[in-house]
C-alpha cells in the first residue's frame, strides 16, 4: 500500500501568480508593484477561508527572493523558490498567530530576530497567519516593527477577520481583500484537476462539490479528495451525496414541488426519506433556502437560466415550472422561514419534528393574502370579488354553513350603545373561507336562491341572516355583519348603520334586488329593504383642551379616504392622531 499520497489541496496549490483563480485585482496589483519596485513593507491579505491568502503571501515571498527577482514570474526551481514552497526556507518564517498569541511570543519570534540580516535570501519575510488572534499587547509590540522595519524585512499577514486587526496595524500596511471564489471558477478548476488526474466525474457531481465549497477552493479540493477515497470510477452526484452527506438537487426539487402542490402527506413522506438517509437537517434547510434564492433570481431575471451557477442544463426543465408556481412574496417568506429553521433545528431536542413542522408551515404560508390585496378587494366591493384559490390537497376544505339555529344567528348582533363597536360581531379581518372550486365569484355572489319553503320560519331575522351568510359569506362578513341593527318589521327589513359606515350602506343598497330576493326565499314573503343611518355621536372635548379646528378638519379628511375607511372597517379601532405631511 502506497503511503506517499499527497492531498489534492496541496498538490494543486498555485505555484505561480497565473495559477491563482478568482483574485485578478490582487494579482495584477502585486504584479505591477513588483515590476515598478513600489513595494510596501507590510501586507495584509484578508478574506474567507480557502481563497488563497497564505498562498498569495508565499507567492509574493518567492517573487521577492527568487534568484531572478524581484520578479512577477519566479522561476520555481532555485533553492529559495523550492524551499519557500515547501515551508522550510530559513529566511521566510511562517508564524501561526493562533499559537503565538502572547506578547512574549511576538518579542521572541519576530521583534528580536529583526536585527539579524537574511542568511541567504534577499529579504527576511515574516508570514503571520490568522494575525487577528494576537493579543492587544502582542499587537502593540508588533506595531513599531511594522512601522519602521529594517530595509531587508517584509511583513505579510493573513486573516479571516480583518475587523479584529487594529487600525494602527492596517494603516501601516497595504490591505488586499480576497473574495470568495465564484461557483463557475471552482467547478472549472475541479474539472481541470479531474482531467489531469484521469478520473471521470459527472457534471452534476462537480456542481454539487462546487456548491458545497461555498467559495473556498481548498474546501472543494478537500471534499473531492474525500469522494475519491470512496470511488474513482465514474464519480456521480449520488456518490458525492453519500460521502459528503449532501442533499441532491433532485430531492430538493421534489421537496419544493411537493410544497407547491400543497401536499401535506407528501412533505411528511419526504421528511421521512431525508431522516432515513442520515442527512443533516440543517444542511437540508440551507440547500432549500439556496434553491428558493435561485427561483427568486430566475423570476427577476429570466436570462439567468443560462447561468450555470443558478441552473444547469439538466435542471432548467424543472426550474421553469416552479418559478411560475411561486410568487415573489412566497419566495421571500420561504427564504426567511428556512433560514430561521436552520437555527431552530440546531437548538431543538427533536430535530425531525422541527423540520416536519417547517415544511407544514411553508405550505400554510403560501395561503396568506397580502394586506394590500385585501384593501384593494374591499375598495372594489368586498372579498367576494376575488378569485378563489385552489384547495390544498390533504387539508379539509372549508365549507360555508348556516348557524346551528335561528336563535344563534339572531344573537350574533348584540344590542349595545351606538357609540360602542359590537365586540361579538364576526371578525372582518379573518381570511374568508374559499368557495367551492366549481363556483366563480360572480355566480356565487348573485346566484338565484332556492325556491321558498312552504312553512314560514319562526324567527324571520335569524332565517334571513343564515340565508345571507350561506349565499355570500364575504358580503355578509364585510357589509351585513357591520350593521348596527337589523329588524324585520312587517313587510320590511330595516338595516341601521352608523355614520362612519356610510359607504357600507351604499354597498348594501347596490344589492337591493338580490337582498330582497334572498329575504323572500328565507322568510317566505316579500320584504322591502330599508336602510337607516344613525346621526353621528358628538364627543365632548376635554375641558382643559380647547377645540382644534385644524385637527378636526384633518381627521375628517382622513376618514373620508376610502383606504383609511376600509382599514377601520376591517380591523376596527379609531384614529388617534392625524399629521399633515
Confirm whether 36 is domain-assigned: yes
Confirm whether 47 is domain-assigned: yes
Q: What percent of the chain shows pLDDT beyond 70?
A: 81
Looking at 314, 345, 365, the residue that finishes a domain is 365
Confirm whether 83 is domain-assigned: yes
For 297, the domain range is 185-365
Average pLDDT over residues 509-522: 86
Above 60 in pLDDT, residue 567? yes
Based on the domain organization, do 152 and 68 belong to the same domain? yes
Based on the domain organization, do 203 and 309 belong to the same domain? yes
Above 60 in pLDDT, residue 17? yes
Average pLDDT over residues 498-518: 83
As a whole number of angstroms, the distance between CA 189 and CA 194 comes to 9
- Confidence band, pLDDT 50/70/90 cuts, at residue 400: very low
Above 80 in pLDDT, residue 382? no
Taking the CA atoms of residue 157, residue 159, residue 165 and residue 170 in that order, the dihedral angle to the nearest 10 degrees is 50
Phi/psi class of residue 48: alpha, beta or left (left: φ > 0; alpha: ψ in -120 to 50)?
beta
**CATH code (residue 65):** 3.40.50.300
Based on the domain organization, do 222 and 351 belong to the same domain? yes
**Which are the contacts of 465, defined by CB distance < 8 A and separation ≥ 6?**
403, 409, 410, 412, 476, 480, 486
Scanning the structure block, which residue is given the C-alpha cell 456521480? 236
- What is the model's pLDDT at position 454? 52
- What is the model's pLDDT at position 375? 76
Above 70 in pLDDT, residue 450? no
Based on the domain organization, do 301 and 200 belong to the same domain? yes
The residues facing 487 across adjacent strands are: 494
Higher pLDDT, 158 or 320: 158
Judge if pTM exceeds 0.85.
no
Condensed to tens digits (0 to 9), the pLDDT of residues 481-497 reads 888 888 888 888 888 88
Pick from 529, 193, 198, 563: which is nearest to 374 by CA?
563
Confirm whether 133 is domain-assigned: yes
- Confidence band, pLDDT 50/70/90 cuts, at residue 503: confident
**Which are the contacts of 42, defined by CB distance < 8 A and separation ≥ 6?**
146, 149, 154, 155, 156, 157, 169, 172, 173, 174
Confirm whether 1 is domain-assigned: no
Based on the domain organization, do 232 and 325 belong to the same domain? yes
Torsion sign across C-alpha atoms 211, 212, 214, 216: negative
**Which are the contacts of 439, defined by CB distance < 8 A and separation ≥ 6?**
388, 447
Confirm whether 75 is domain-assigned: yes
Average pLDDT over residues 137-166: 92
Helix axes 237-244, 217-230, angle to 10 degrees: 100
Based on the domain organization, do 217 and 251 belong to the same domain? yes
Based on the domain organization, do 111 and 230 belong to the same domain? no
- Confidence band, pLDDT 50/70/90 cuts, at residue 93: very high
Confirm whether 450 is domain-assigned: no
Above 70 in pLDDT, residue 548? no
Average pLDDT over residues 419-438: 40
**CATH code (residue 252):** 1.20.272.10
Confirm whether 535 is domain-assigned: no
Looking at 177, 209, 225, the residue that finishes a domain is 177
As a whole number, the mean pLDDT across the chain is: 81
Condensed to tens digits (0 to 9), the pLDDT of residues 117-134 reads 999 999 999 999 999 999
Whether the CB-CB separation of 95 and 127 falls below 8 Å is answered with: yes
- What is the model's pLDDT at position 51? 93
Above 90 in pLDDT, residue 335? yes
CA distances from 432 to 377, 385, 398 (A): 12, 11, 10
Three-state SS for 157-207 is EEECCHHHCCHHHHCCCEEEECCCCCHHHHHHHHHHHHHHHCCCECHHHHH
As a whole number of angstroms, the distance between CA 291 and CA 311 comes to 10
- What is the model's pLDDT at position 394? 45
Looking at 306, 337, 365, the residue that finishes a domain is 365
Based on the domain organization, do 251 and 360 belong to the same domain? yes
Above 60 in pLDDT, residue 574? yes
Above 80 in pLDDT, residue 410? no
Based on the domain organization, do 326 and 214 belong to the same domain? yes
Pick from 436, 552, 431, 530: which is nearest to 483 by CA?
530
Condensed to tens digits (0 to 9), the pLDDT of residues 41-59 reads 999 999 999 999 999 999 9
Based on the domain organization, do 204 and 147 belong to the same domain? no
Above 60 in pLDDT, residue 433? no
Higher pLDDT, 327 or 43: 43
Least confident window among 365-369, 409-413, 473-477: 409-413
Average pLDDT over residues 77-100: 91
- Confidence band, pLDDT 50/70/90 cuts, at residue 455: low
Based on the domain organization, do 173 and 189 belong to the same domain? no
- Confidence band, pLDDT 50/70/90 cuts, at residue 384: very low
Condensed to tens digits (0 to 9), the pLDDT of residues 353-365 reads 999 999 999 999 8
- What is the model's pLDDT at position 340? 92
Based on the domain organization, do 91 and 189 belong to the same domain? no
Above 70 in pLDDT, residue 430? no
Domain count across the chain: 2
- What is the model's pLDDT at position 388? 45
Amino acid at each position: 500500500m502506497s503511503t506517499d499520497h499527497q492531498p489534492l489541496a496541496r498538490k494543486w496549490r498555485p505555484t505561480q501568480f497565473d495559477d491563482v483563480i478568482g483574485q485578478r485585482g490582487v494579482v495584477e496589483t502585486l504584479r505591477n508593484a513588483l515590476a515598478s519596485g513600489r513595494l510596501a513593507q507590510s501586507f495584509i491579505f484578508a478574506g474567507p477561508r480557502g481563497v488563497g491568502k497564505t498562498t498569495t503571501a508565499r507567492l509574493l515571498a518567492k517573487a521577492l527572493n527568487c534568484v531572478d527577482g524581484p520578479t512577477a514570474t519566479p522561476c520555481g526551481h532555485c533553492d529559495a523558490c523550492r524551499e519557500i514552497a515547501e515551508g522550510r526556507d530559513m529566511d521566510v518564517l511562517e508564524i501561526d498567530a493562533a499559537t503565538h498569541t502572547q506578547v512574549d511570543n511576538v518579542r521572541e519570534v519576530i521583534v528580536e530576530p529583526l536585527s539579524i540580516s537574511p542568511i541567504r535570501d534577499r529579504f527576511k519575510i515574516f508570514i503571520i497567519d490568522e494575525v487577528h488572534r494576537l493579543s492587544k499587547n502582542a499587537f502593540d509590540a508588533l506595531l513599531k516593527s511594522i512601522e519602521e522595519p529594517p530595509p531587508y524585512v517584509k511583513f505579510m499577514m493573513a486573516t479571516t477577520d480583518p475587523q479584529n486587526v487594529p487600525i494602527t496595524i492596517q494603516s501601516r500596511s497595504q490591505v488586499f481583500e480576497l473574495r470568495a471564489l465564484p461557483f463557475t471558477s471552482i467547478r472549472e478548476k475541479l474539472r481541470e484537476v479531474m482531467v489531469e488526474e484521469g478520473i471521470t466525474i459527472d457534471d452534476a457531481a462537480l456542481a454539487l462539490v462546487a456548491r458545497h465549497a461555498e467559495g473556498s477552493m481548498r474546501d472543494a479540493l478537500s471534499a473531492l479528495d474525500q469522494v475519491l477515497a470512496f470511488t474513482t470510477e465514474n464519480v456521480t452526484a449520488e456518490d458525492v451525496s453519500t460521502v459528503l452527506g449532501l442533499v441532491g438537487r433532485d430531492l430538493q426539487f421534489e421537496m419544493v414541488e411537493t410544497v407547491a402542490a400543497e401536499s401535506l402527506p407528501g412533505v411528511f413522506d419526504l421528511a421521512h426519506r431525508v431522516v432515513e438517509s442520515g442527512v443533516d437537517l440543517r444542511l437540508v434547510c440551507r440547500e432549500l433556502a439556496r434553491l428558493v434564492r435561485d427561483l427568486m433570481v430566475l423570476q427577476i431575471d429570466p436570462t439567468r437560466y443560462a447561468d450555470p451557477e443558478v441552473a444547469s442544463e439538466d435542471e432548467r426543465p424543472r426550474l421553469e415550472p416552479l418559478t411560475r408556481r411561486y410568487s415573489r412574496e412566497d419566495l421571500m417568506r420561504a427564504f426567511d422561514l428556512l433560514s430561521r429553521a436552520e437555527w431552530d433545528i440546531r437548538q431543538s431536542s427533536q430535530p425531525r419534528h422541527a423540520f416536519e413542522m417547517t415544511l407544514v408551515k411553508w405550505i400554510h404560508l403560501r395561503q396568506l393574502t397580502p394586506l394590500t390585496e385585501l384593501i384593494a378587494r374591499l375598495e372594489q366591493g368586498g372579498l367576494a370579488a376575488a378569485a378563489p384559490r385552489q384547495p390544498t390537497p390533504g387539508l379539509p376544505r372549508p365549507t360555508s354553513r348556516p348557524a346551528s339555529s335561528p336563535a344563534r344567528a339572531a344573537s350574533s348582533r348584540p344590542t349595545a350603545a351606538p357609540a360602542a363597536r359590537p365586540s361579538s360581531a364576526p371578525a372582518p379581518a379573518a381570511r374568508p373561507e374559499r368557495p367551492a372550486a366549481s363556483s366563480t365569484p360572480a355566480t356565487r355572489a348573485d346566484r338565484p336562491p332556492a325556491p321558498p319553503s312552504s312553512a314560514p320560519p319562526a324567527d324571520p331575522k335569524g332565517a334571513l341572516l343564515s340565508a345571507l351568510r350561506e349565499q355570500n359569506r364575504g358580503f355578509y362578513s364585510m357589509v351585513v355583519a357591520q350593521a348596527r341593527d337589523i329588524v324585520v318589521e312587517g313587510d320590511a327589513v330595516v338595516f341601521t348603520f352608523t355614520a362612519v359606515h356610510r359607504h357600507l350602506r351604499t354597498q348594501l343598497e347596490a344589492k337591493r334586488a338580490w337582498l330582497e330576493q334572498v329575504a323572500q326565499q328565507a322568510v317566505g314573503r316579500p320584504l322591502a329593504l330599508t336602510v337607516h343611518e344613525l346621526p353621528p355621536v358628538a364627543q365632548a372635548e376635554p375641558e382643559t383642551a380647547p377645540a382644534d379646528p385644524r385637527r378636526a378638519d384633518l381627521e375628517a379628511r382622513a376618514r373620508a379616504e376610502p383606504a383609511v375607511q376600509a382599514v377601520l372597517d376591517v380591523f376596527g379601532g379609531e384614529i388617534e392622531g392625524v399629521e399633515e405631511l
